[in-house]
Every structure is written in C-alpha cells, then in structure tokens.
A and B are shown apart, each in its own frame.
Chain A
Amino acid sequence: MLLALGAPGAIVLVGFFLVPLAVVAAEAFGGDGRAFARVLGDPVFWRGLIGSLMLAATAATVSLAVGAAVALHLSRLGERTRLMLQFLIALPLTFSGLIVAYGFILAFGRAGFVTMLLAEVGVDPAAFAGFIYGPAGLAFAYAYYLVPRVVMLLLPVLVNFDQAQIAAAESLGAPRWRALADVLVPQVLPTALSAWCLVAAVAFGAYGTALALVGTQVNILPLLLYSKISEGGSDFPAAAALSLVLMAACTLVMAAAEAFAASRETSGH
C-alpha cells in the first residue's frame, strides 16, 4: 500500500529530476571536465556570477526588509483581517514570472503608467525606465514575488511570539528599543536569515522575469545559461557545467537557510 502511494512521486522524481540531472552531469563531466575549464576561464561567466550574486543579495535584502515590516504589521491584526490580507499577499506567488515582467513593463516601462505620471513631476522617463530595465529594476521586480515568501515564513514566528516578553523586559528596566533588540530580534533572526537565504536562492536561479524584462542585457548566470542553450547556442557541455555551478550555488544557499532554521529549533523554540 505504502509502495503504491509512493510510486507516482518516485516516478516523477526519477524521470523528471534524477535522469535529467544525470544526463546534465554526464554532459558536463564528459571530455575530462574541459567544459568546466571553458566556463571558468570565460570572463563572461565571472561577470555573470558577480551579477547574479549582487542581484540575489539585493532582491533578498529588499524583500526581507519589506516582508519583515509587512509580517510585523500583519501579526498585530485580528485573525480574520490577517487571514484575508495573507491571501491577497500570497497572490503574486501564483503568477508566472512573465506576467510579473509584463505588468512591470506596463507600469514602469518607457511608456508605462507610473513612468508617465512621474514624467508629469519632472522625472525623465528614459532615466527611470533605464533603472527599471537594469539590475536594480530587476531586483525590484523579483521582490514583487519574493516578499510574499518572506511574509509567509516570518508571520508564524511573529504571531506566536509572546508579547508579554517585551512587557517583562520593560518591567526589568529595558527601554522599548532595547527590549525589541534583546528579546524579539534574537528570536526572529534565525527565521529571517533562513528567509533571506531562501529568497536569495530563488532570485539567483530565476530567469523568466529577467528574460522578459531585460532580455540578455543584464549579465547574470541564468541568462548566460539561456544564451548557451537557446537557438544561437551550441556549447552544450559548457551549458551543462554552468547548470551544475548554478545548482551548486543555490544548494549552498539553501543549506545555509536550513542551518539557520535548525539553529532556531535547537535554541528551544
């Protein structure tokens, strides 16, 4: 019975993950690893890696800052209102990256609605659109669907936080800021770091929104990979090697997220 229940999952895992992964690994390591040498020896790869790291860090930091503020606000609302707003906040997660990109172009593109409104108050549309179609704009677009992830991760911790602890710290002589810094922050920090890593990994590997929004103008690894396997590309071993590098980087960041989450578990919460 257990076997029958597990079979569909196992088939999907083997057929659509392990087999393609094995093929990619075989392709990458074929030819005595020369594909890795080509990838690592290419300055475009290093610029892409730096671009990806900066994009992931920026998008994750912005998302964490916005998401933490939203989660803090939601945690103070009544359960009914909170659940309703949670539903609304989770909506962007259901949209594809292409829809997000298209929405951004309509709103913030060269002839976008917001761009035109800002032009009325003297903001240069070309300069503004340049921002949107650059790495910073990409981070901004990523934040759109990364913020809900941060909110969903942080909210349970904040809702379950016993506010009496803050009252206790204040009664023991701590000013409000210190009570928050000594009592709330250390309890939320592991989850916040874990959320940062998770959304950074998502941003690091995402390419749909980037492709639709900036084409291949911004040098990041997913777009570099895309260029290697799209119509013009022909170096499949290098693409495979790049895939493995991309996956290893995401796995490392996710491992850090897990480590932070585990540290929260062992500290007794």
Chain B
Amino acid sequence: MTVAVSRLTHLYPGTTLGISDVDLALGPGELVAVIGASGCGKSTLLRAIAGFLPAQAGTVTIAGVDVTGLPPRARNLGIVFQHYALFPHMTAWENVAYALKVRGIGRADRRRRAADMLALVGLADFADALPPRLSGGQQQRIALARALVFEPAALLLDEPLSALDAALRGGMRDEIRRLQQAHGISTLHVTHDQEEALSMADRVAVMDKGRLVQVAPPRELYDHPATAAIAAFVGHANLWPGRVAGDGRVATAFATLATTTRGHADGAAVTVLVRPERIFPGPPPDGVNGLEGRVVRDRFLGAVRRFDLDVAGTLVLGETSDRRTIAAVHIPPDGIQLIPAERRP
C-alpha cells in the first residue's frame, strides 16, 4: 500500500472533534475520495497524513515507511490546497520548481522540468506569469503541477475544486483524473462534493463524526450504502421506516412493497431505501409496487425533472425525464434496498 493509516487519532484539544481510530489504505495508483458533512474530520485526516497535525495514536505509513513522527517536509507527499496556496511573488515556473530548488537541483534543470510539467497541464505559455494574474482554473493547474513535479509518493487533494466556478469544475475533475492516472500516483482526495467523489474516485470513504463509516467503490456505495445516514448523504434518497412482512415483502406506512428480503428476519425493523431514479412514472406493467398519489412539488432541472408525490401522507421523491402529468408511479422490486434499522445512527 502506498499510503496507509492505522488507528489514526487526532482530537483537537478540549473537544471531541477530530478523527478517531481511522484505518485506511491507498493502493498503488488508486484515487480514494473522502467525503462527509462539514466537521466530520475529513480535512483533519488529510492534515494528519500530511504531518500538519500530530497523531495522538495510530500510525501513518508512506511507501512502506512509518512516517508518523516525521514533519511534512520528510513525508514526500504532493499536496494541493483548497485555495491553492501558490506563492504570489514567484512566477508560475518558480512555483512549480520550488520543490526542486529545495532539493538543490540546478536552475537550468529545474526550469526544464517545470516547463515540462507546465506543458503537461496546458500552461506552457504562462511560465513567467505571476499567479495573481492567472484565472482560478490556471492557478489550480499550477498547484497540481507543483505537487507532482518532484514525483511524490502520493498526492493529497484538499477540496481542490471548491474555489472554482461550477462551469470549470467538471473540466478540472477530468483534468485531475487524467494527470493522476498518467502519473499512476496514489491520491487521497478530500471533498464535500459527493458528485465529484463518485465521478472521480476508485473508492469513496465516508466519514462521520471523525470515523470512517464506509469505504467502497462509488457504485457499491451508491447502491448499497451501509447505513441510512450514508444513503441520505450520498445522492438523493427516499428513506422510509418499514418492517419485513414475510418473505419478499416489506410493509411501510403507505404500502406493502415487494422486494428481496434476504438477510432480514421476518418482522425485522428496516429502513427502506429507494433512489429517485428508480421511481418510474405510470402504473406498473406487471402490477407490482404501484403507488397512486398527487404531485405536490415539481422541479424542472433541464435534463430531468424531480417531483414529490404525496402517497397517503408520505412524500415519494422521484426523478424522470418524462414531462407528462404524473398521478401514479411504480418501483421495480430490485430498486428497493433494505437497511437494518438498528444500524441507523
């Protein structure tokens, strides 16, 4: 494993905030995104791995070496900061070459390597520009080039896209992923944007109250969240309290639905999870899991439309590209996930 933390703990003095007993390992070339609500500890995890915060317990291993007590400069990690933290008095190439300068590499060599790196991020023509004169996207690319030029053991990205306009963000996601894969570098990407995490990462780690609650590939995390809280945090979700009512049936406040109940005892309390895109307008073709109701809120979002259907007092959130009037919906049995109610935090 390129980067591994074991039982890593750092609590801010006098509080219960921070991270506790975190275990996480990044494989070679793997991009792991860490997501969670504000204050969940994701940035603390990154700062503890980087060496900016001391580990009160546990270990940090980078490329097989225990670096737990070492300062940031000795960890050989490339870091992209939230607001880039570029040096405003240095030109783009000087920023990129700074790590090489610190390592005692000669000016001509560092200039050449910085130029190569700037070309790789599409900024070959901006080598002599000062960062404040560049756009947010260009600054972001310089920050990436600066973090990669010295061939670090791994890359840490601290909300790297949060300071960019929404229009730029999509392109930068692809750009970061392209560079990360081109370098085959293990990357820990901290973000509050779940869409960013799902679209970029090989695996997504969800944090809550300083602990890792689930680490899984994006599809698995989305389709099989471990808890109702994770289901609610990752994407939109219908979450209804229910009870297993015999084999293949789950009873909710507004209907009894057919689905697989394997792994859940008869009568067990569960949370019923249905993603909005698994709610289909119209009556069911096979008569299974049909619901009738009245649309009480309808949001046009361009490609899709998100609606709230009132079904016997319960709101059913659906998403469709169908623009016709909706008075009934149906849910395919495989669109329903059951989450044990006791695992709900």
- The one of A162, A164, A174, A268 in contact with B102, judged by C-beta atoms closer than 8 angstroms, is A174
Majority SS at the chain A contact face: helix
Q: Mark B116-130, 1 if CB is under 8 A from A, else 0.
A: 000000000000001
User: Could you tell me if B71 and A182 are in contact, using CB atoms closer than 8 angstroms?
Assistant: no
In the complex, A167 has a CB within 8 A of chain B: yes
Residues of B near A167 (CB, < 8 A) are 50, 52, 72, 79, 81, 85
A103 interfacial contact with B, CB 8 Å = no
- Shortest CB distance B115–A (Å): 18
Which listed residue, A162, A175, A186, A187, touches B85 by the CB 8 Å rule?
A162
The number of A-B residue pairs with CB atoms under 8 Å apart is: 68
C-beta contact mask, B84-95 vs A, less than 8 Å → 1, else 0? 011111000000
Task: Tell me the complex Cα distance, A164–B52, Å.
Answer: 11
- Report if B99 contacts A (CB, 8 A): yes
Cα of A170 to Cα of B47 in the assembled complex, Å: 13
Contact A182 B98 (CB under 8 A): yes
Contact of A268 among B82, B85, B98, B133 (CB under 8 A): B133
A172 within 8 A of B: yes
Given contacts A174-B73, A175-B73, are A267 and B81 in contact (CB under 8 A)? Answer: no
Task: Report the bound CA distance from A151 to B117 in whole Å.
Answer: 41
Question: Which residues from chain A contact B77 at a C-beta distance below 8 Å?
Answer: 171
Residue of A nearest to B97 (CB): A172
**Bound state CA distance, A238 and B73, in angstroms?**
63
**A165 on the B face (CB < 8 A):** yes
Total number of B residues with any Cβ neighbor in A under 8 Å: 27
Judge whether B81 and A164 touch: CB under 8 Å: yes
* In the bound complex, CA of A162 to CA of B146 (Å): 17
Q: Determine the chain B residues whose CB is within 8 A of the CB of A182 once the complex forms.
A: 87, 98
With A169-B98, A170-B72, A171-B77 as contacts: A269 and B88 at CB distance below 8 Å: yes
How long is the Cα–Cα vector from A171 to B156 in the complex, in angstroms?
Answer: 10
Task: Report 24 cross-chain contacts, Cβ distance below 8 Å, ordered by A residue.
Answer: A162-B85, A164-B85, A167-B85, A168-B81, A168-B85, A168-B87, A168-B146, A169-B102, A171-B72, A171-B73, A171-B77, A171-B78, A171-B79, A172-B99, A172-B102, A172-B150, A174-B102, A178-B102, A182-B87, A187-B88, A187-B89, A267-B89, A267-B130, A269-B88
Binding site for B on A (CB under 8 A): 162, 164-165, 167-175, 178, 182-183, 186-187, 267-269
Extra contacts, 7 of them, besides A169-B87, A173-B73 (Cβ < 8 A), are A162-B85, A167-B52, A168-B87, A173-B103, A175-B73, A267-B130, A268-B88
Binding site for A on B (CB under 8 A): 50, 52, 71-73, 75, 77-79, 81-83, 85-89, 98-99, 102-103, 130-133, 146, 150
